[in-house]
Amino acid sequence: MLDANYWEERYQTGQTGWDIGKASPALIAYFEKLANKDIHILIPGAGKAHDLGWLHQHGFKNSVVIDISPTALKQASDLYPDIPISHFLEGDFFSHKGSYDLIVEQTFFCALSPKLRPQYVQKMHELLKPGGRLIGLLFDFPLGADGPPFGGSATEYQDHFDQLFKIKHLERAYNSIKPRMGRELFFELIK
Ligand SMILES: C[S@@+](CC[C@H](N)C(=O)[O-])C[C@H]1O[C@@H](n2cnc3c(N)ncnc32)[C@H](O)[C@@H]1O
């Protein structure tokens, strides 16, 4: 069961192999092109919140994370003490209420049971303002029974997203970190 207890135990015992220890270069490249720093940004399942750290440091003060693990959030706020604690939301993404211009995906989708993919798409759509964007990285390796991380392909992702979103980008990321090079897709969807 990939519930709060599962993730709590992973953070409490330091089994966080997914944590790259810094903001993702592919996401930074996207953030650097954003002209308006006042937009409302959500990062769900953000773990230690390195991307939030980058955003706040670069003036995107309306950025928040939500994570189901209180220990992850404690570790994140310890790492980024300048960010107000109110920007670290504890809770289940699927129950979250809000309205965002931009939502950022980074190893959250792949951490969920594949059964939840249709709900993920619906919830992202609900949380975005009209014209809002969902951007980020998705793994590009075959979906098997084992996970997390659970994989997928561009075709599978396209089938999930294209009912509710305009797909602006869904292609191999050129700026993945070394261990993930060739195994990630960068995507940008518009509501
Ligand atoms: C594989 S980790 C990735 C963390 C972070 N994105 C990173 O790249 O370091 C998945 C994260 O999603 C969180 N999570 C899992 N299910 C969640 C849910 N339903 N709502 C909010 N967060 C959730 C976990 O606590 C964990 O921090």
Nearest protein Cα to ligand 1, atom 11: 45
- Asked if residue 144 has pLDDT above 90, the reply is no
- For 127-137, the pLDDT digits (tens) are 999 999 999 99
What would the two tokens of residue 8 be? 């709590």
Q: Has residue 118 got a pLDDT over 90?
A: yes
Superfamily holding 4-11+23-190: Vaccinia Virus protein VP39 (3.40.50.150)
Centroid of ligand 1 to alpha carbon of 182 (angstroms): 23
CA 37 to ligand 1 center in whole angstroms: 25
Residues 15-40: tens digit of each pLDDT:
999 999 999 999 999 999 999 999 99
For residue 105, the cross-strand partners are 136
Question: Where do the domains of the chain lie?
Answer: 4-11+23-190
Ligand 1 pocket list (CB less than 6 A)? 7, 18-19, 44-48, 66-69, 72, 92-94, 106-108, 111, 148
Q: How confident is the model at residue 94 (pLDDT cuts 50, 70, 90)?
A: very high
Instruction: Provide the sign of the torsion angle of the four alpha carbons 43, 164, 184, 59, taken in this order.
Output: negative
The protein residue whose alpha carbon is closest to atom 12 in ligand 1 is: 45
Q: How far is the CA of 69 from the centre of ligand 1 (A)?
A: 8
CA distance linking residue 41 with residue 87, whole number of Å: 10
Are β-strands 63-67 and 128-139 bridged in parallel, bridged antiparallel, or unpaired? unpaired
Diameter of the chain by CA atoms? Answer: 41
Mean pLDDT to the nearest integer, 104-130: 98
Give the closest residue to 157 by CA, choosing from 190, 109, 103. Answer: 109
Q: How far is the CA of 128 from the centre of ligand 1 (A)?
A: 19
